[in-house]
A and B are shown apart, each in its own frame.
With several copies, the nearest count.
Chain A
Amino acid sequence: MRLYEFEAKRLFRRFRIPVLDAVVVDGINEEELNKITYPVVVKAQTFLGGRGKAGLIKTAETRQEVESVIKEIIGESHGPYRIEKVLIEKKIDIAKELYLSVIIDRLEHKFCVITCSRGGVDIEEIARQSPELIHKYYFNASVRFSQFSARTIANGLGLSGSMLKSGAEVVYKLFNLFIGFDCKLAEINPLVITQDKKIYALDAKVDLDEDAMFRHPELKELGIQTRHEIGELTEREKLAKAAGIPYVDLDGDIGVFPGGAGFGIAAIDLIKHYGGSAANFMDSGGAPTQEKLRKMLGLLIDNPKVKAIFGARFGGISRCDDWAKALVQYVIENRPEKPMIMRMAGNMEEEGRRVLKEAKEKHPELFKNIKVYSVTTPIEEVIKETIRVAKAGRI
């Protein structure tokens, strides 16, 4: 989960990484703006880089200027984001800009500190053009990070004298923040040294491990909540999120009601391969409850773009009987008319089939648009059938 700059800087403050005094506003907030001493830099809060080039970082010398800059930036778009907040920091005299980050290197399965003596610019660009400027230092997850490593890293950045010590301090603290908050990324770009030999994290980027949030209640104290991280959510995505269902809207007309995420991704490929178009990505998670399964189904049925639903349940940790019961209850309660082409196989399949059969005998009219194939029909035949139905508009 990526954090906004102003959120990341709250973590920095907790670990005493030096950041500039700042205020965050979502408009002309008198009280906050009264705290400012000029000149200042006003920075749009967004998840994307390249804010400078996009005109989303501006300086202001006076109250009048700062107000006009705030009005100008807030509400602007930046890629998929609408700017809602700006961070206002004192403008400082920069002598040097550096780059520093800690990441997880998934090739090496280690923590990796990356530095560059040229900061404030696109680091990937530098890595391509001047790879010799980039230093990498690897650390095993089982080893305690030592002060000497921090000094060696600061030394590699060309720092010396008192700056070696304050630079090493920042490296040490950033690494500890990375560990302490279960980060996937903790980045300072640029790390600046001022004319008067002070060091500040001028920008801050943090990407947290969603799966470790349960052990960081302190994030809530810091006012940081779990959120969808990339792009704005559609209304349906918001509904799904509220129900704890990973869900992404796509452009097609076939609603995909799969088992796990991996097959959900494959199903989108296969639908495209056979000439159809998926309306969504969705994941049921490990062993969904019947209630969750009904909610998942509802998301698809209620989507006006969806012409047919492709469903697949291969019971592993999830059980076919739960799935069948959820389907039956949903159908009886909501009487959907959209065709559903499904396939059910795996653990507790027999019991699932019994549930479906009983319901169909009892409410034949409700199940006339629903087909549930078994393990003997290849999954891709079911997909092809769904595409045919979606195009025809009926079974």
Chain B
Amino acid sequence: MSIIIDEHTRTIVQGITGRNASFHTKLMLGYGTKIVGGVTPGKGGEEVAGIRVYDTVKECLQKHPDATVSSVWVPPGFARDAILEAIDAGIKTVVVITERIPVHDMLYVRECAREKGVMVIGGNTPGLISPGKSLVGMLPRITFKPGRIGTVARSGAITYYLANSLNLAGFGESTSVGLGGDPILGANFEDILHLFEADPATDAVVMAGEIGGVYEELAAPFIKKMTKPVVAFIAGKAAPQGKRLGHAGAIVEGEMGTAQSKIEALSANGAIIAQTLSEIPELLRRRLA
């Protein structure tokens, strides 16, 4: 078992003919991900890595009605439309690789998705992986191994280093989910924690957050209700206040977005706080013992 994707999941790739998308389509296929079609408007009929390209998601799903997951790789100005297209066509999980999607667009997309019961992951997510089963996105396969720890993080690289630290210590992942680095996200920590809590193949969860936004704080109350241990790592404790660090999601805004606020909220609700990546396996081991 795993969450969201497994060895049976059929996926499609929106924007498949782009440089990154076509490159990672090959890597995903190499990993065993079942990609049944791609979509690029105006390129219907072409092929990428042996995968048929369609003009619209609707047409693609007419040919492949068993596809339930789409990854979106289009430029930010087209992301809103591509996500809405996937939702409208009946896709159940949309993994949005595209970064820097306008905030108003994501607010609109979130509403449509919630209304239709669709999970949107991202934007600016590296994707997710259920090791040994399926990989949707661009996570480096080398660092992920099958196991019983669920991970969820906002940053792509931290997702990789988390798995790397776990694996070097003998752990593996049931599923690793990247939430994405954009300021407004589809799925948030709480959504994913719910899934891990219900997943029989997951024994514990590691979540990694960072300064900016409120998703860590919003998830804290649910952690208290969970039966499974949660280890949390928060980046940005040493970040200078008021300095803009890279993507917009990392602006320190108000009292709620600080590393301190997040750590306090998580810790107060029973999460185990990790100061470094390398201590995470030990913290897990102690709680799982």
**Interface positions of A (Cβ within 8 A of B):** 104, 106-107, 109-111, 140-142, 146-149, 151-152, 155, 160-162, 164-165, 168, 179, 182, 184, 209-212, 214-215, 228-231, 246, 248, 250, 258-266, 268-273, 278, 281-283, 285-287, 312, 314-317, 319, 345-347, 349, 375-376, 378-380
Contact = CB atoms under 8 A, between A and B. Distances in A.
Nearest to A183: B104
B44 interface: yes
A268 B88 contact: no
Nearest to A213: B102
Contacts of A142: 108, 111-112
A209 B3 CA distance: 33
Contacts, number: 241
A164 B210 contact: no
A100 to B, nearest CB: 17
10 contacts: A104-B184, A110-B107, A142-B111, A148-B82, A261-B246, A263-B235, A265-B155, A269-B235, A316-B126, A375-B164
Interface in B17-43: 20, 23-24, 27, 41-43
Given A209-B103, A211-B100, A261-B247, A107 B218 contact: yes
Which one of A110, A142, A286 has the greatest number of beta carbons of chain B within 10 Å? Answer: A286
Given A210-B248, A261-B245, A281 B85 contact: no
B46 to A, nearest CB: 10
Interface string B242-284: 1111111010000000000000000000000001111000000
A312 B246 CA distance: 16
Contacts of B45: 160
A123 to B, nearest CB: 13
Given A162-B42, A164-B41, A250-B240, A109 B110 contact: yes
A378 B108 CA distance: 41
B76 A211 contact: yes
Given A261-B181, A266-B155, A270-B276, A212 B103 contact: yes
B143 A265 contact: no
B247 A283 contact: yes
Which one of A160, A212, A314, A315 has the greatest number of beta carbons of chain B within 10 Å? Answer: A314
A165 B42 contact: yes
B55 interface: yes
Given A162-B42, A375-B143, A106 B157 contact: no
Nearest to B257: A106
A316 B139 CA distance: 5
A316 B246 contact: no
Contacts of B138: 316-317, 347
Which one of A148, A179, A215, A248 has the greatest number of beta carbons of chain B within 10 Å? Answer: A148
Contacts of A379: 161, 164-165, 277
B140 A345 contact: yes
Contacts of B139: 316
Interface in B94-115: 97, 99-105, 107-108, 110-112
Contacts of A146: 81, 84-85, 88
Contacts of A250: 240
B156 interface: yes
B235 to A, nearest CB: 4
B160 interface: yes
A106 B213 contact: yes
Give the 3 A-B CB pairs with smallest separation, nearest first.
Answer: A262-B155, A261-B246, A346-B140
Given A155-B56, A263-B161, A380-B278, A349 B247 contact: no
B194 interface: no
A107 B153 CA distance: 19
B99 A263 contact: no
Contacts of A345: 140, 142-143, 160, 164
Contacts of A149: 88
Contacts of A312: 157
A228 B244 CA distance: 9
Nearest to B141: A347
Contacts of B245: 246, 248, 261, 264-265, 281, 283
Contacts of B160: 314, 316, 345-346
Which one of B107, B153, B214, B238 has the greatest number of beta carbons of chain A within 10 Å? Answer: B238
Given A162-B42, A211-B101, A229 B244 contact: yes
Contacts of A106: 183-184, 213-214
A319 B19 CA distance: 12
Nearest to A374: B142
A220 B141 CA distance: 44
B59 interface: yes
B57 interface: yes
Contact of B155 (A111, A263, A270): A263
Contacts of B276: 270, 273, 380
A259 B157 contact: yes
Interface string B217-250: 0100000000000000101111110111111101
A378 B213 CA distance: 29
Given A106-B184, A230-B242, 9 more contacts: A148-B57, A161-B44, A248-B244, A261-B245, A281-B243, A283-B247, A316-B137, A317-B97, A346-B160
